[in-house]
Structure 1
Amino acid sequence: MSSSVQRTRVRKSPEARRAEIVETASGVALAEGLECLTLRRIADELAVRPGLISHYFPSVEDLVAEAFGSAASAELDRLVPAGTDGESPTLRLARFLAHTAGDSYDAISRLWINARHLSRYRPVLRDRVAVQEAAWRGALERLIREGVDREEFRTPDPYVTTIQILVVLDGLGAHANTDTADRPAAVTRMAVTTAERELGLPPGALDLPDGPGPEPDPSPSPVTTD
């Protein structure tokens, strides 16, 4: 006698279903690029009908913008996490910069480049890019201002220093599509050295305790004669 077990189909709430769609779209965007996002592609990934995706995102442009915004927000939360009031601004900034030098950050760098390129002719995405740029700029500026208030950092204009650090990170991100295996340590540390210089910190102040230190000065020691 044979028996069969009928599977119970779990119906997800609209909030959970939408979050699932956005998470899946963000994953595809990070791995393959925003151009690869279509309603059918995400439906295939989730093994559902395209009509379900279009119920939540009638336009693929809305899905593209949401996927980018979700990925960028998640990365910012990782870089500048909440609930770290007990840590010094110096340690939090050091951790931020250490994360931006990792392989996982290359993926979000590529996504930013991708989004900025596409946003030239996609208004919905352009608006989302602007929102995320303001969020990243604001989070880093608040951290720097806190460091100034605690007299850990010295800078006449925290906003300008914030922009300088982000511009360096954007420049390094432009190399994310190339082979970075042979990237000199001085280049990898460029954002760190910029931050240390602009915030009045000594070399190595923004290195994590278990991380690499600054490169030694390559210039020869002066030779003295009697």
Structure 2
Amino acid sequence: MLGRKRAKTAEHEDRVVGDEEILAAAKTLLASDGLIAITPQRLAAAAGVPADRFDVEAVAAQAYRETAVAEIAEVRRTVLANPSPVEQMRALLSWLSTAPEDSDGVRLEAWALARHNPGLRSAVQDGEAAWHGLVASVIRRGARSGEFPQADADDIAAHVISLIDGINAYQLIGYRSDFDRMRLLTRVVQAELGMIWGPKLADALS
């Protein structure tokens, strides 16, 4: 069951259907207004059930998990459609550094709220591990083909992802210019992978 508090008179079949409806309502709230919108009152109103029929923290965690899994799967398909590791990395960096503002905002909300929600913390950690795995797999593929240097793919992936998380957080609050943020990422990508990346930024590296 998906964070549903047991109703004494409810039949099992009704509980399963209700869980699906509640989760769908939570995912709709998340997509429109972020994780902070998944409150007992708003979720109850959106799902059309009393607030004492579900565990809002568990539902929020599952809504975030399923949304993150779907997003990562979509990006993976897009990235792997490119023929070479270099092009895969370019596609991956382009998506990560220009992800929709609402996607970055939800991730930041998730990190903050996860401090007090163990289920959400687990979902966030799994999501970060999936992103790390995708970046590291492209790096390893490039190292095998000779397009990237032989190096610790996990360390490089962690470096790149942590920087992207930081510059995306900067973007959300309007700190530093787009050019400055991309220049920081471009320098790291060049130093770690030996590739020039970033629109109109090659001259900034000289």
Q: TM class, shorter-chain normalised?
A: 0.7 to 0.9
| TM-score (norm. length: structure 2) | 0.77
Query: What CA deviation, in whole Å up to 9, does each residue of 1:27-71 have, x standing for no partner?
Result: 42244232220354235335x3347x94xxx31111110111122
Structure-2 separation of matches of 1:89 and 1:66:
33
**Which amino acid counterpart does residue 174 of structure 1 have in structure 2?**
A
The answer to whether residue 147 in structure 2 is matched with residue 152 in structure 1 is yes
Tell me if structure 2 keeps the 8 A contact 1:93–1:143: yes
Tell me if structure 2 keeps the 8 A contact 1:110–1:176: no
Tell me if structure 2 keeps the 8 A contact 1:75–1:108: no
Return structure 1 stretches of 4+ with deviation > 6 angstroms. Answer: none
Tell me if structure 2 keeps the 8 A contact 1:185–1:215: no
Partner residue in 1 for 2:105: 110
Identity level (%): 24
Structure-2 separation of matches of 1:145 and 1:151:
10
Query: What CA deviation, in whole Å up to 9, does each residue of 1:51-110 have, x standing for no partner?
Result: 7x94xxx31111110111122222222332278366111111111111123251x22221
Structure-1 separation of matches of 2:151 and 2:133:
17
Partner residue in 2 for 1:49: 49
Partner residue in 2 for 1:9: none
From the superposition, tell whether residues 107 and 192 of structure 1 become closer, same or farther in structure 2 (CA, over 3 Å): farther
Match of 1:193 among 183, 187, 190: 187
The answer to whether residue 128 in structure 2 is matched with residue 133 in structure 1 is yes
Query: What CA deviation, in whole Å up to 9, does each residue of 1:137-181 have, x standing for no partner?
Result: 11211111111111111142111100000110111122243236x
Partner residue in 1 for 2:80: 84
How many aligned residue pairs are there? 192
The answer to whether residue 62 in structure 2 is matched with residue 66 in structure 1 is yes
Deviates more, 1:150-159 or 1:73-82: 73-82
| TM-score (norm. length: structure 1) | 0.71
- Rg comparison, structure with higher value: 1
Gaps in structure 2 of 5+ consecutive residues: 1-15
Q: CA deviation at 1:189?
A: 4.2
Gaps in structure 1 of 5+ consecutive residues: 1-13, 220-226
